[in-house]
Amino acid sequence: MDIHNMYPEDLEQYLSQNKDTDYQLVDVRQPQEYEAGHIPGAKLLPLSELEGRLDELAVDRDLIFYCRSGRRSNIGAALARDSGLVDGSIANLTGGFSGWQGKILEEFPQFETLQGMEDPAQALEQAMNMEKGTALLYEAMLEQSAGLAIESTLARLVKMETAHARAIYRFLSKTREMEPFETVFSNLSGDLVEGGWDLESALERLRHNRGNSCLFLSELALDLEYRAYDLYRNMADTAEDREQQQALFFLSEQEKAHVRLLTRGLPGCF
């Protein structure tokens, strides 16, 4: 089942053409955000609680997820899809509640995947480079997080991304002779972050962050980790070598664990 992107104008049209019994609006933000303003009729199911409350979804209706910007709700929509419980369609409100209110969003550009890399080893080499790029980005985010609830999580993620790169290195070293990991990792450019977006653009956006810094950093990290999960999961599905497939499944599960780690920390931003 695919997750459909729905823009604010599409949602307005949808709501006017369908009965309340046809759909369920799901707000995955925190209670404080919901109380400050929400789309009428939306059910509050914070992303940090969603996995344990999937039984509260109206699985026989169309589900429309939203958050502030569309990042957290994209993950919520994926959790609902992957549960296998939903019979209706699943949509994510692009631009989120901010877009619904007509605000102009300074959003990150869409991430790219490892297209054009039919050689699995080449794809893994690029993935290792992206792990380094993501570690560098998290280090920059860590500098902005002093005193914030997400600070300790970002510190853990820096170490985890390096550990992921080491795991990829161990797999590649089984099939070829390679220099020590420290040398290989040091020589990587790290010019891409997870999902394929270039590091310099990410750092530039980071420098111009405005608003709730903890929430901004949390949503950015969630976006990175979910896209990394999606990338490794899709690579695993297409891998022909069993060992390689298992390595990719391991990485995808690790990225999913990072998503859970970040969602559990969201309430601390408020």
In angstroms, rounded to a whole number, what is the distance separating the alpha carbons of residues 208 and 25?
Answer: 32
Q: Positive or negative, the Cα torsion across 135, 162, 172, 253?
A: negative
In angstroms, rounded to a whole number, what is the distance separating the alpha carbons of residues 46 and 168?
Answer: 34
Q: How far is CA 45 from CA 30, 62, 68, 122, 159, in A?
A: 8, 16, 13, 40, 31
In angstroms, rounded to a whole number, what is the distance separating the alpha carbons of residues 178 and 215?
Answer: 40
177 class by beta-carbon count within 10 Å (0-12 exposed, 13-18 middle, 19+ buried): exposed
The CA-based angle 208-209-212, given to 5 degrees, is: 160
Our answer to whether residue 214 is catalytic in this structure is no
In angstroms, rounded to a whole number, what is the distance separating the alpha carbons of residues 185 and 128?
Answer: 8
In angstroms, rounded to a whole number, what is the distance separating the alpha carbons of residues 188 and 129?
Answer: 6
Determine which one of 6, 63, 67, 235 is catalytic: 67
Query: For the stretch 97-128, what's the b/e string if a residue is b when 16 or more beta carbons lie within 10 angstroms of its beta carbon?
Result: bbbbeeeeeeebeebeebeeeeebeebbbbbb
In angstroms, rounded to a whole number, what is the distance separating the alpha carbons of residues 76 and 29?
Answer: 10
* Cα-based torsion angle of the residue sequence 144, 145, 148, 152 in order, rounded to the nearest 10 degrees: 180
Q: What residues are annotated to the active site?
A: 67
